Chain A
Amino acid sequence: MSFGHEHHGEAGGHHGHHGPRSLPATFEAPEIVSAWRTRALIVAAVAIVFTIPFAFSHEGKNHILRAYLMGYMICFSFAGGGLAMLMLQYVSGGKWGLIMRRPLEAMSRTIGLVALLFVPIIFFWKHLYQWAAFPTAGAVAQALSNHAVTLEQAMTLNAKRAMLNPTAAIVQTIAIFALLWLFQFLLNKWSLERDADPERNTERSYDRWRIRFENLSGPGILLYVILLTDGAIVWIKSLDITWYSSIWGLQFLVGQGYAVLALGILTLILLSRYEPIKTMLRTTEQHDLGKFAFAFTMLNIYLTFAEFLIIWSGNVPDEIPWYLNRIHGGWWVVCSADFAFHWLIPFCLLLSRDLKRNKKKMIWLTCWMLFARCVDMFWLIEPNFSDAAGNLHITNNIGILAYITVPVAVIALWVAYYLTQLKARPLINLNDPHVEELLEPEHAH
Chain B
Amino acid sequence: MPPREGIYGLLAEFNTPSELVQATEAARHAGYRRMECYTPYPVEEAAEALHFHKNRVPLLCLLGGVMGVTTSFLMETWINVWAYPLNIAGRPLFSWPAFIIPAYEWTILFAGLSAAFGMIALNGLPQLYHPVFNAPSFRDGATTDKFFLCLEAVDPKFSLTETRAFLEQFPTVSVVEVDH
Contacts and interface: CB of A to CB of B under 8 A. Distances in A.
A4 B100 contact: no
A309 B96 CA distance: 10
B22 interface: yes
Interface string A196-224: 00000000000000000000000000000
Given A305-B100, A315-B89, A3 B43 contact: yes
Interface stretch (B4-12, B44-52, B77-85): B44-52
Interface in A308-355: 308-309, 312-313, 315, 351, 353
A11 B89 contact: no
B18 A444 contact: no
A2 B18 contact: no
B42 interface: yes
B134 interface: no
Nearest to A309: B97
Contact of A312 (B42, B62, B97): B97
A161 interface: no
Interface residues of A, number: 21
B158 to A, nearest CB: 25
Nearest to B52: A444
Main secondary structure on B side of the interface with A: helix
A322 to B, nearest CB: 15
Contact of A3 (B45, B53, B97, B98): B45
Interface in B98-153: 98, 100-101
B17 A7 contact: yes
B101 A309 contact: yes
**Of residues B16, B18, B21, B47, which shows the largest number of chain A Cβ atoms within 10 Å of its Cβ?**
B18
Contacts of A305: 100
A7 B16 contact: yes
A445 B101 contact: no
B41 interface: yes
Contacts of A444: 44-45, 47-48, 53
A444 to B, nearest CB: 5
B87 to A, nearest CB: 14
B16 A4 contact: yes
A380 B21 CA distance: 55
A11 B101 CA distance: 53
Contact of A313 (B22, B43, B98): B98
Interface string B41-69: 11111011000010000100010000000
Contact of A2 (B41, B48, B62): B41
A247 to B, nearest CB: 16
Contact of A10 (B18, B48, B53, B101): B18
Given A7-B18, A305-B100, 16 more contacts: A2-B41, A2-B42, A3-B45, A4-B16, A4-B17, A10-B18, A11-B18, A11-B19, A15-B25, A18-B21, A309-B98, A309-B101, A313-B98, A443-B44, A443-B45, A444-B53
Interface of A: 2-4, 7-8, 10-11, 15, 18, 305, 308-309, 312-313, 315, 351, 353, 441, 443-445
Interface of B: 16-19, 21-22, 25, 41-45, 47-48, 53, 58, 62, 89, 91, 97-98, 100-101
